[in-house]
Amino acid sequence: MQAMIRRLLNPQRCARSFHTTSRVMAAKDMTVRDALNSAMDEEMARDPTVFVMGEEVGDYQGAYKVTRGLIQKYGPERVIDTPITEIGFTGMGVGASMGGLKPIVEFMTFNFSMQAIDHIINSAAKINYMSAGDIPCPIVFRGPNGPAASVAAQHSQCFASWYGHCPGLKVVSPFDSEDARGLLKAAIRDPNPVVFLENELLYGNTFQLSDEAQSPDFVIPIGKAKIMRPGTDVTIVAFSRMVQMALEAAEKLAQEGISAE
């Protein structure tokens, strides 16, 4: 790890406006898993200081195959398989970030991030403030969060509220493929620590990816709401997998003559 480091050395409620390009491409379908993978791939190609580390992210291609193909393309120095020690590899990632690199730290589940909570809360989130801006900490902590299917109590908690109440962290929880791709790219480029909460049950879901979202320059600003469906009578607010539930509820309300945003 040390050798690798030496070598690499106000939320607004509004619809998003996306970057446009002169390319002419058709919209295409993409799974959330592939959207996340493509975002990391493009950011690693764009910036040699970006690297991925975590349990089984390399040779096994990721526990949920989100890092599939990255080790073959970028090698073991930038896609690092770690031992099963969240407190260890998270601390190494935070240190690498302070040293000028941009780590993407994958937790097999965010429940296991509790093993590394001191590094995330007391080091990554606080060092920029405590150093009077001299030591930024550009790092992404990502992985599945919240309940899934048959994964039992120690894999089922949602930590969005926990991390959302900690000063110094940005917390992101995408829903569809466009969210996943644009927000992960924004998180990787952000100079601050970002907690990126995915949902295991969404990985295999397919959504349409617009022409704009296929661009390597596509980035969604962190902190802006996205209006998935316009409405005039009532507003439903949700994030992650619950966006789908909210859209289904809006459909049922429409059958009763209620226009839900």
For residue 25, the SS3 value is coil
- What lies within 8 Å, CB to CB, of 85 at 6+ separation is 115
**Residue of 56, 77, 155, 261 with catalytic role:** 155
Give the integer Cα–Cα distance in Å for 141 and 166: 14
**Residue of 42, 43, 55, 86 with catalytic role:** 86
CB 144 within 8 A of CB 199: yes
Give the integer Cα–Cα distance in Å for 109 and 203: 13
Tell me the DSSP string of 172-188.
E---SHHHHHHHHHHHH
Give the integer Cα–Cα distance in Å for 157 and 133: 33
DSSP 119: I
Q: 90-121: buried (b, 16+ CB within 10 Å) or exposed (e) per residue?
A: bbbbbbbbbeebbbbbbbbbbbbbeebbebbb
- Among residues 30, 182, 134, the alpha carbon closest in space to that of 172 is found at 182
- Note if 155 is an active site residue: yes
Contacts 24+ apart (CB under 8 A), 252-255: none
DSSP 202: G
The residues that are catalytic are 86, 155
